[in-house]
Amino acid sequence: MQFTVINPASGEKLRDYPIWDAARLDAALTLTAAATPAWMARPLDARAALLRHAGEVLLRRRDEFAALMSREMGKLIAEARAEIEKCARCCAFYAEQAAGLLADEPAHTDAAKSYVTYQPLGTVLAIMPWNFPFWQVIRAAAPALAAGNTMVLKHADNVPGCALALDQVFRQAGCPEGVFQTLMIGIPQVDGVIRDARVHAVTLTGSERAGRAVAGAAGEALKKCVLELGGSDAFVVLDDADVKLAAEVGAKSRYQNAGQSCIAAKRFIVAEKIAAAFLREFQARAAALKPGDPLDENTSLAPMARIDLRDGLHRQVQDALTKGASALSGGAPLAGKGAFYAPTILEGVQPGMRAWSEELFGPVALVIRVRDEDEALRVANGSPYGLGGSVWTRDAARGEAFARRLQSGSAFVNGLVKSDPRLPFGGIKQSGYGRELARHGIREFTNAKSVWIA
């Protein structure tokens, strides 16, 4: 059994990686279990220093890791470099802030002294996707390790090189053996790892289907889990918006990473009054995208990560078109080698179409015209997902009031929805539960212990 890595831009086979057998997996879990008590007991400032070193390793090897991402899952090289830099900033953030974020909290009770202290749970299993192969892992690992947990990683099958590179980052940073380990295992082995007594909590970024499976196994084992699942983010353009700016940022949000982001803008909900002007600007930007080798600095449209993912996206688009929607641009795979899909804009998508209720994980945008702000809010909140969303208006107070009513884990006014170590990240409804990043993320996998002293 092995993982076979295919370059999504060319279709070329890159490398095979062997999948571990049960004995190799057991040895790895035993190693992490042995390393966990000492890591939990290590002073927080010493753990923070190792995180700082991890950030330095990431920056030192930035170009190497960026090229690896581009080859394995097709990310544009400039976007890949930016991802590595963001990972380094996250490590630095927790290295600097962990002590304050985890500080004991005094409580005024009938005791002479009482407080809440935050203590690590043990080993966290991280199940991570391919679309941001370094960032998804680091944003979970940095707070978990800072808090005193150890981590074992099950990465996506198509980015094993990135998974092993993350192992190298933490080893080169000076982490003791077993504190962070990549498990080279297949999906059928994951359920057993979740249920293993040497694993104490689980974090997953992935699909709704994967979230249900992981939550079910973790629930049966009575283990804490955090789920960051799909999204169908609303990008609401009100009638007083700066149309050119909204179209510029909207195109970037929808088409960067070939549209393969859970917090990409997916549903463009536009006031009828300015819809024609918005579409002219938006279509021009989609038409200007240039597919090609993601390692070429001039390429602006990356391939999708796999051919099967591209074909699945096309089936969703075809379902909408056969049921009455129209393609203002694109609507089909691009001819030639690789997993490229044309930048697509669909209009006339209605309930009953797959594109209305499902996440479109690729370079396809839905444009939905609405009469007024109230209808925009109803449509935005009508999704089964609730990860992120944005609203565009020249009136900041109006935008803030609208953002507070969006049913989502994040709401941005006149800005690109993004994750930031200083803000909690996660969703509601079918986008999952729990939070990563900021104070909320570092405390997710801790025991909030009450201490009472007479």
Is 87 a catalytic site residue? no
DSSP character at residue 349: -
CA 158 to CA 1: how far, in whole Å?
14
Task: Quote the Cα angle for 85-88-207, to 5°.
Answer: 80
β-sheet with 105-106: strand ranges across = 105-106, 113-120, 446-453
Class of residue 21 by CB neighbours under 10 A (exposed 0-12, middle 13-18, buried 19+): exposed
Crossing angle of helices 62-73 and 44-60, in 10° steps, is 70
CATH class in words for 2-229+431-453: alpha beta
Helix (H, G, I), strand (E, B) or coil at 202: strand
**Tokens standing for 214?**
């992981």
Amino acid 3: pLDDT = 97
Is 90 a catalytic site residue? no
In the chain, which segments carry CATH 3.40.309.10? 233-420
CA 233 to CA 411: how far, in whole Å?
10
Amino acid 394: pLDDT = 98
Average pLDDT across the chain, whole number: 98
The dihedrals phi and psi of 342, each to the nearest 5 degrees, come to -65, 140
Give the active site residue among 87, 90, 162, 228: 228
CA 170 to CA 172: how far, in whole Å?
5
Amino acid 430: pLDDT = 98
Output the CA–CA distances (angstroms, integers) from residue 250 to 210, 264, 280, 446, in the order listed. Answer: 28, 9, 13, 37
DSSP string, 342-406: --EEEE---TTSHHHHS---SSEEEEEEESSHHHHHHHHHTSSEES-EEEE-S-HHHHHHHHHHS
CA nearest neighbour of 445 among 143, 129, 211: 143
Crossing angle of helices 160-172 and 135-146, in 10° steps, is 30
Amino acid 290: pLDDT = 98
CA 251 to CA 282: how far, in whole Å?
6
CA 39 to CA 60: how far, in whole Å?
25
In the predicted model, residues of the chain with pLDDT beneath 50 are none
Helix (H, G, I), strand (E, B) or coil at 201: strand
Give the active site residue among 162, 175, 225, 262: 262
Task: Quote the Cα angle for 385-391-397, to 5°.
Answer: 130
CA 201 to CA 195: how far, in whole Å?
10
Q: Give residue for tokens 């504190």.
A: 179
Whether the CB-CB separation of 134 and 160 falls below 8 Å is answered with no
Amino acid making up residue 375? E
In the chain, which segments carry CATH 3.40.605.10? 2-229+431-453
CATH class in words for 233-420: alpha beta
Residues in the chain: 454
